[in-house]
Structure 1
Amino acid sequence: MVSHSAAKGLWFLAHIESQTDAPSNPTITEEDKSKRYPLYERLGDPKVLVVGRVAHQRRVWKLLRLMPYCSAVNVAVWQKCYARFTNLTESILNVPDDVTIHRAHQDSYQDKVYEWQNLALFLAVVAGGSIQDQCDASLLSSVIPQRMLPDSMRAVQNPVQSISTFVNDLTALLIFEDVQIQEAAWEALGVDLNARLHPKILKYFDEVVQAVNFEKENNEEGSNHENMLLFVTSSLQSQS
């Protein structure tokens, strides 16, 4: 599995750069090493045996959520995955409602949903590590030579706006008609969401509440805003 190999690589990196005679790495301070490398060691710990893809995935996400600071690589990876996520979202939401769709197309749709779900959960986990104020995305070229970077990564933009859009879009999908998408959005916004993003959800729901109040004051018919509020309220009650 690719993620197992990557985790092992991080484990080796942490051990090699922690040696007293290791060459200096100008892209990371000693303080940052002390915060990041223990996580690298836990990710690739050869003594830990995890059985099953889902269990391994959960363990990786749990550790990634603890990543203490932002780096240019974090931002680049998040934006690359987010670009794929937005393409999948558009593809999933625009599937024609036609009972004559061939079985092959249905299988293709399900494959996209699974990929979308994995990306949603991954993005929710690592997004918090990409929005810290001290992150300088331009440092990516100091880690990877410009000639080796794809064009889309040579000028990495600040991801804050994209992360806000990601959280808002996921929240809106809580009332999507496809239950699998709905449950995936709920999961991503729950325990998998980095705690640094919780204020963005609260801000979104505050806007929903204001919209519902405005509609009631103006005697407007119930809308998706009210449906959203009812859904979240009932879901929270069922979880308590």
Structure 2
Amino acid sequence: MKKYAGKIMQWTLVSLTLFIFFVICVNPHIAYAATTPTKTETTEAMGWTELTNTGDAAGIKETGTIDVSDSYRSTLHIDVCLSEAAAHDGTEVLVFTGSEAGVDGSWSELTRFVVLSGLTGIKSDFANQEAVGQTVLGITNPETGGADHDGKRIFLEDTATPAQSEIAYQIDNSGDASDTVTIIGGGLDHQKETTSDLWTVDTFGVSAVFSANIAIPDSASQVNVIFNNWFDTTGSDVYVRCRVTKFTDLN
């Protein structure tokens, strides 16, 4: 057996080398597992945009072509928030990918889904002018306004400057006695007494906010997202937003 030990060791090393080579060829990304990706910071393909439920172009919007041809891996970040006190029949979100950059006729449907169906938004008014970064918000009669259910996300709408709208997580409220709602994960923008509203759903554990992260196939060169708020003939106005994160290189 001793005279074969060297040959066995040689063949073992050869087999191991071939196996590693095969794995790398089949999945080249494994070869870069220890490298540092170059990430394009999350950018807005569509900033906060209000969609009505009027059955015309005001209720259906698209991001337009999002170029991901230079991306090793891409993720969409989609938000939809109620902004009207009306029973909602749902907002349809459609995501399309294209295999050829700059060729709009190459679209294929990646996914579609309907969100916030069956919910009714309820609004509370800001009682004070809030500074940037403020997390204890002056809200008029939060209990009466349905903002007395903690432990869920809420939508802070700025009707004058939609870009300053934001999503926050409510952790406490004072009831109608002291007119405050406490949040985390928000308060980054300057909410104004005269133009800002707090939107929620008057049910424990149910949010006026929907968010999703959608992975885009590596084979895609471009992406387009359509928000259809005319999914049914009745419903609520909503605010929508779409952002994208791209990994463009592996160093």
TM tier, shorter chain? under 0.3
- Normalized per residue, the structure richer in helix is 1
TM-score using structure 2 length: 0.20
Q: Which has the higher contact order (CA 8 A, sep 6+)?
A: 2
- Of structures 1 and 2, the larger Rg is shown by 2
